[in-house]
């Protein structure tokens, strides 16, 4: 009996007798397992932040039908558990079975294997049904407890997986997903915008800021105007995306400015206008300031499916929920049905946008909007100069109260609309001395003031138009009080029967916060009191007047000097100066130029030369002159990346020691470096000419941001990662004489700098500030002959790992001397690997080159991805052993005809310590083998690695071929390749959850596998009849060998999309005598 421990990985170099038993000479989709041996790889599946489609944590809830309130919807995936308990657990219903008065529900939980709590109220998202988990009437099982056979369990699991796979949505956009980064438990994906070419003559139809929609109800936002080649970019606004094909007609949405939004508006809600019998559907609500809860929301609203006629609308109401209303300030774009059809749709775009994963799918990353300016005279955010703003508004609700003197005459509602509409009050009875608050009152409220959140309230006054129509000498008063108290200020009203506009003094009880004044329930009372009789007090109009100090930048006016008129306004959140400085109000040389980050804006397309002023009509202080239109920051798309032969590289880092300043910093090789903090996307110019400022690599080191360029320089920022100005004495640059191909922090204070031909380190950083700054950086060459292939540099175990033209290497250090050296790790797979690595240098003509890399930390793995869908995985198995190599290949169908060409990759660790790795694919036809097409049709999705039991639903085909086994010398125990031996039976030892159906072939004396004399044998590893398992347990199986020769080898193969991965750890060979003993 000979036991062969499976260990060592691939050996494609040594002669067969020289290879240690247990190593493999061929493999596909196996890897080195955690518990030694060779493990069938985990799968990968589409990802958008929803619960994993392959999750196994299902629960079956059995309850009487009578306990269910309402009727479930037809589509089970639309039903979502809502738990009313502390942890807020939720999940997705994947099945609904009703039989014999009992309802069976199968649920997958987001909260892992936590059992639902008794007393939880469970309801669907639409509120059509609900029930309560009562211990007395409800039974809860794990799905694995319901099935008695593992095969049945896998079948049900597979069905549920497919349902949940359909819930996951693609990254919105068009073309390639060009960048991925895992940051603060969210995956950030950068994808090409939809890029269309409009027909000749339609160049001016689409304007930036315009919303468009297609017949499927998808809504997009026009991001660029037509360029010289008539190309226009459109970005999706939500995870439903926006797509359109060549010659497919789409439409322009009605776009309105609103300034006092309240209540609730959601995508798809039906709405009504107050005039013109206008009706439409909410396409997008872009709230830019205030809040709907406070009634002071302002921004832009887009409505689809409305008429083409230009409606005259003052207000819009939510006809679906009956809870929302907005006052319209202006119409930006009219609705146009069948506006245009694209001449063509690009497969690659110049521009891309960022999305982030959430529990509910993809969400557009909030990146802000910017507006470029020149000739900056005054800083609009100079807080020393606030602007006094007076706002007067009529009430939107008027209610009559009770009193002893009579009632206000109708119609009361007329008061809230406009001046000149009289609502009278007839007061009868005798003179009542004093103001005791017992007379009738008029309560006016909901003034929709539209105050901004940062306004400083200076005064609040009541404004009303009144007269006395009684006899001469009669008088009356209007008292302004706040409910429910009777305290307040009094105002004496005229005896003169003519109209008089009256403004009260400041109301001392009025709230000082703009949010409280904006609230719909804030109001004032008008109380009439007679001092002589008879008398007929009359109110013609009532209003509220608020004076606030508005901070600079809150509202600036856009003035067109050619037409001498205002064309709109903007609200500035922050300013970025790219050159020059503010002139202090005086036009001098070297004025500031840069851009504003906007909080709000009333128009998007702005004529060049438009001036910005603090007051309307070109009055007040001139701020600057505008040099462009409002734009949303965008990133380079796949066409520009292809043009520069580059990829996105991103890092997360906190340069400022406060939690909220942990940000993403990135480069693309096709534009400026950039940073994103969750609210703002901005660029990092270094002072290099804009056409050359295209860093390709990025790394934080010694609290400085380092950028690597194609011409061989590395730029280091000052302590502020956005400041690369050499004038401060804090930034620095270092030359390496060759194209930079990677940057990675190394041991201690070293930064590894890779070029195409050398490996280098920078040790230390610039110390001090200004003129006192000291250059303490040591620049050291580690290897003059070995460089890194671009986009292969990663970090594993706090050491850089990379691919050179001679293999995978690491940058090691000798602790005793702190000297660095490179160490190759892939000699044993050189025949397979070197031609692929060297094809990157043009040595080979077939496209098998490296396209990207990733690390999987929880498996101690480094993976290289190649253009033909193959993957090399290097696994560290311990400090005293050499890393082991295995080969994989990804594809998109069971026939292995469409291989996945990896494009972008990302990996990271969640706050709970879980490792995650992702990739996207590129759609690019390629035929490395006759009749095999490497086209990746699923480029719309991001995929999470090492997740699930399949390649996103397709079977994983896998095999290992063991090196030949020669038996052992009875005298020495060493391999005996010259001695013939009979092999009768083999045993397979390992681990598996449930079972795996294996196909085992054999080779004797170097013969080919599966020859007619030695057919393969199908053997079960475990049993499909056993109770379901979702954790691996030790298994053992046997098969016939019936072979005689000096060497024998086994090929163990497996193909499945539903079975759990398994690991094969040891093979036992038995001869005839041992076989009899075994029996």
- Does the pLDDT of residue 474 top 70, yes or no? no
In order, the DSSP letters of 221-266 are EE-S---TT-EEEEEESSTT-----TT--EEEPEEEEEEEEBS---
> In this predicted structure, what is the pLDDT of residue 308?
73
End-to-end Cα distance, the chain: 13
Q: pLDDT tens digits for 222-249?
A: 998 888 889 999 999 999 999 999 999 9
Q: What pTM, to 2 d.p., does this model score?
A: 0.83
Q: Max Cα separation, the chain?
A: 136
Q: pLDDT tens digits for 368-393?
A: 889 999 999 988 887 666 778 888 88
Mean per-residue pLDDT for 401-410? 46
Mean per-residue pLDDT for 997-1018? 76
Residue 107 near residue 133, CB atoms below 8 Å: no
> In this predicted structure, what is the pLDDT of residue 431?
33
Mean per-residue pLDDT for 532-556? 73
pLDDT greater at residue 179 or residue 317? 179
Q: What percent of the chain has pLDDT over 90?
A: 38
> In this predicted structure, what is the pLDDT of residue 929?
45
- Does the pLDDT of residue 90 top 80, yes or no? no
Residue 896 near residue 934, CB atoms below 8 Å: no
Quick one: tokens of 346? 């690009």
CB atoms within 10 A of CB 582: 18
Residue 454 near residue 296, CB atoms below 8 Å: no
Residue 851: closest CA among 642, 635, 670: 642
pLDDT greater at residue 548 or residue 657? 548
Q: pLDDT tens digits for 305-363?
A: 877 766 678 889 998 877 888 988 888 899 999 989 999 999 899 999 999 999 889 99
| 319 torsion bin: left (phi>0), alpha (psi -120 to 50), beta (else) | alpha
pLDDT band at 931 (very low <50, low <70, confident <90, very high): very low
Top mean pLDDT of 478-482, 488-492, 504-508, 874-878 is at 874-878
Q: How far is CA 667 from the centre of its chain?
A: 18
Q: What is the total residue count of the chain?
A: 1079
> In this predicted structure, what is the pLDDT of residue 64?
62
> In this predicted structure, what is the pLDDT of residue 1075?
58
Q: CA-CA distance, 563 to 992, in Å (whole number)?
A: 78
- Does the pLDDT of residue 53 top 60, yes or no? yes
pLDDT greater at residue 996 or residue 1073? 996
Q: CA-CA distance, 226 to 206, in Å (whole number)?
A: 8
- Does the pLDDT of residue 48 top 90, yes or no? yes
> In this predicted structure, what is the pLDDT of residue 413?
43
CATH code of the region 390-550: 2.60.120
Residue 55 half-sphere exposure toward CB, CA atoms < 13 A? 24
Quick one: tokens of 223? 């991001």
Residue 50 near residue 359, CB atoms below 8 Å: yes
Q: pLDDT tens digits for 964-989?
A: 888 766 666 666 666 777 778 889 99
Residue 482 near residue 524, CB atoms below 8 Å: yes
User: In the chain, what are the domain boundaries?
Assistant: 2-43+955-1078, 51-165, 193-347, 369-384+560-626, 390-550
Q: Who's near 426: CB < 8 A, 6+ residues apart?
A: 406, 407, 409, 536
- Helix (H) / strand (E) element for 64: namely strand 58-64
Residue 285: closest CA among 252, 256, 243: 256
Q: pLDDT tens digits for 561-573?
A: 988 899 999 999 8
Return the CATH fold of 2-43+955-1078.
Jelly Rolls (2.60.120)
User: Do 390-550 and 2-43+955-1078 have the same topology in CATH?
Assistant: yes
- Does the pLDDT of residue 420 top 70, yes or no? no
> In this predicted structure, what is the pLDDT of residue 52?
86
Query: What separation in angstroms does the CA of 927 have from each of 838, 848, 933?
Result: 19, 10, 5
Q: pLDDT tens digits for 814-839?
A: 443 346 666 789 999 999 999 999 88
Query: What separation in angstroms does the CA of 1071 have from each of 2, 183, 969?
Result: 9, 57, 15
> In this predicted structure, what is the pLDDT of residue 794?
96
């Amino acid at each position: 009996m000979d036991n062969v421990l499976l260990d060592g990985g691939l050996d494609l170099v040594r002669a067969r007798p020289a290879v240690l038993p247990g190593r493999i000479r061929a493999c596909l989709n196996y890897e080195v397992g955690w518990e030694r041996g060779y493990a069938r790889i985990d799968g990968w599946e589409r990802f958008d932040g929803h619960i994993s489609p392959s999750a196994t944590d299902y629960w079956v809830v059995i309850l009487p039908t009578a306990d269910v309130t309402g009727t479930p919807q037809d589509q089970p995936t639309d039903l979502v558990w809502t738990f009313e308990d502390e942890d807020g657990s939720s999940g997705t219903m994947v099945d609904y079975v009703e039989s014999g008065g009992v309802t069976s529900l199968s649920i997958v939980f987001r909260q892992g294997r936590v059992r639902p709590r008794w007393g939880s109220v469970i309801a669907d998202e639409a509120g059509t049904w609900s029930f309560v988990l009562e211990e007395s009437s409800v039974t809860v099982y794990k799905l694995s407890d319901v099935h008695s056979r593992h095969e049945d369990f896998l079948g049900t699991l597979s069905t549920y997986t497919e349902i949940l796979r359909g819930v996951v949505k693609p990254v919105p956009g068009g073309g390639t997903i060009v960048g991925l980064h895992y940051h603060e438990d969210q995956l950030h994906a950068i994808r090409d915008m939809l890029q269309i070419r409009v027909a000749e003559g339609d160049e001016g139809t689409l304007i930036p800021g315009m919303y468009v929609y297609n017949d499927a109800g998808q809504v997009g936002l026009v991001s660029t105007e037509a360029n010289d080649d008539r190309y226009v970019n459109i970005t999706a606004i939500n995870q439903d995306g926006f797509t359109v094909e060549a010659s497919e007609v789409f439409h322009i949405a009605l776009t309105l400015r609103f300034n006092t939004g309240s209540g609730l508006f959601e995508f798809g809600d039906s709405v009504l206008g107050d005039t013109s019998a206008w009706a439409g559907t909410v396409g997008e609500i872009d709230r830019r300031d205030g809040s709907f809860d406070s009634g002071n929301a302002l921004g832009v609203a887009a409505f689809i499916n409305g008429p083409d006629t230009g409606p005259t609308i003052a207000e819009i109401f939510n006809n679906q929920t009956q809870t929302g209303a907005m006052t319209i300030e202006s119409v930006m774009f009219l609705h146009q049905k069948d506006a245009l059809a694209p001449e063509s749709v690009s497969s690659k775009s110049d521009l891309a946008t960022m999305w982030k994963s959430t529990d509910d799918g993809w969400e557009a990353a909030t990146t802000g909007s910017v507006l470029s300016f020149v000739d900056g005279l005054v800083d609009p955010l100079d807080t020393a100069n606030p602007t006094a703003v007076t706002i007067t508004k009529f009430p939107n609700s008027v209610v009559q109260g009770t009193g002893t003197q009579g009632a206000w005459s109708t119609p009361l509602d007329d008061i809230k609309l406009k001046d000149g509409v009289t609502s009278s009050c007839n007061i009868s009875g005798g003179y009542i001395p004093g103001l005791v608050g017992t007379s009738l009152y008029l309560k006016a409220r909901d003034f929709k003031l539209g105050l901004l959140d940062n306004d400083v309230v200076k005064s609040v006054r009541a404004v009303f138009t009144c007269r006395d129509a009684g006899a001469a000498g009669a008088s009356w008063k209007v008292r302004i009080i706040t409910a429910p108290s009777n305290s307040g200020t009094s105002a004496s009203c005229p005896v003169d029967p003519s109209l008089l506009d009256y403004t009260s003094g400041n109301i001392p009880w009025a709230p000082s916060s703009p949010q409280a004044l904006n609230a719909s329930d804030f109001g004032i009372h008008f109380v009439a009191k007679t001092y002589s009789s008879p008398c007929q007090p009359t109110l013609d109009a009532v209003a509220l007047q608020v004076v606030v100090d508005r901070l600079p930048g809150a509202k600036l006016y856009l003035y067109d000097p050619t037409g001498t008129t205002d064309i709109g306004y903007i609200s500035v959140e922050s300013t970025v100066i790219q050159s020059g400085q503010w002139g202090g109000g005086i036009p001098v040389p070297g004025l500031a130029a840069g851009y504003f980050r906007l909080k709000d804006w009333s128009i998007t397309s702005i004529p060049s030369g438009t001036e910005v002023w603090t007051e309307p009509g070109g009055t007040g202080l001139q701020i600057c002159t505008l040099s462009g239109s409002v734009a949303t920051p965008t990133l380079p798309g796949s066409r520009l990346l292809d043009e520069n032969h580059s990829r996105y590289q991103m890092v997360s880092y906190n340069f400022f020691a406060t939690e909220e300043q942990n940000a993403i910093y990135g480069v693309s090789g096709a534009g400026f470096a950039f940073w994103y903090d969750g609210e703002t996307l901005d660029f990092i110019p270094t002072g290099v000419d804009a056409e050359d400022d295209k860093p390709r690599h990025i790394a934080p080191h010694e609290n400085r941001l380092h950028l690597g360029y194609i011409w061989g320089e590395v730029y280091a920022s000052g302590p502020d990662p956005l400041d690369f100005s050499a004038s401060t004495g804090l930034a620095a640059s270092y030359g390496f004489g060759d194209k930079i191909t990677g940057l990675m922090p190394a041991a201690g204070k070293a930064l590894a700098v890779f070029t195409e031909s050398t490996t280098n380190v920078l040790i230390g950083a610039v110390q001090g500030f200004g003129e006192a700054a000291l250059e303490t950086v040591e620049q050291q060459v580690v290897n003059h002959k070995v460089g890194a292939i671009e986009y292969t540099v990663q970090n594993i175990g706090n050491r850089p790992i990379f691919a050179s033209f001679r293999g995978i290497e690491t940058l090691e250090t000798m602790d005793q001397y702190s000297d660095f050296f490179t160490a190759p790790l892939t000699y044993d797979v050189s025949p397979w690997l070197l031609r692929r690595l060297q094809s990157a240098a043009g040595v080979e003509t077939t496209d098998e080159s490296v396209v990207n890399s990733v690390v999987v930390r929880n498996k101690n793995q480094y993976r290289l991805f190649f253009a033909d869908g193959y993957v090399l995985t290097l696994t560290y198995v311990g400090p005293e052993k050499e890393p082991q190599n295995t080969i994989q290949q990804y594809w998109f169908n069971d026939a292995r005809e469409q291989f996945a060409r990896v494009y972008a990759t990302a990996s990271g660790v969640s706050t709970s310590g879980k490792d995650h790795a992702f990739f996207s694919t590129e759609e690019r036809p390629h035929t490395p083998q006759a009749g095999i097409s490497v086209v990746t049709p699923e480029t719309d999705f991001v995929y999470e690695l090492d997740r699930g039991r399949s390649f996103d639903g397709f079977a994983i085909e896998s095999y290992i071929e063991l090196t030949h086994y020669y038996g052992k010398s009875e005298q020495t125990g060493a391999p005996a390749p010259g001695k013939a031996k009979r092999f009768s039976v083999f045993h397979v030892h390992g681990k598996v959850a449930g079972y795996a159906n294996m196909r085992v072939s054999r080779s004797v004396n170097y013969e080919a596998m599966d020859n007619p004399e030695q057919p393969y044998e199908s053997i079960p590893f475990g049993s499909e009849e056993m109770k379901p398992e979702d954790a691996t347990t030790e298994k053992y199986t046997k098969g016939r060998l019936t072979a005689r020769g000096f060497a024998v080898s086994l090929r163990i193969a497996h193909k499945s999309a539903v079975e759990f991965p398994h690991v094969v750890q040891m093979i036992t060979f038995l001869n005839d005598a041992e076989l009899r003993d075994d029996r």
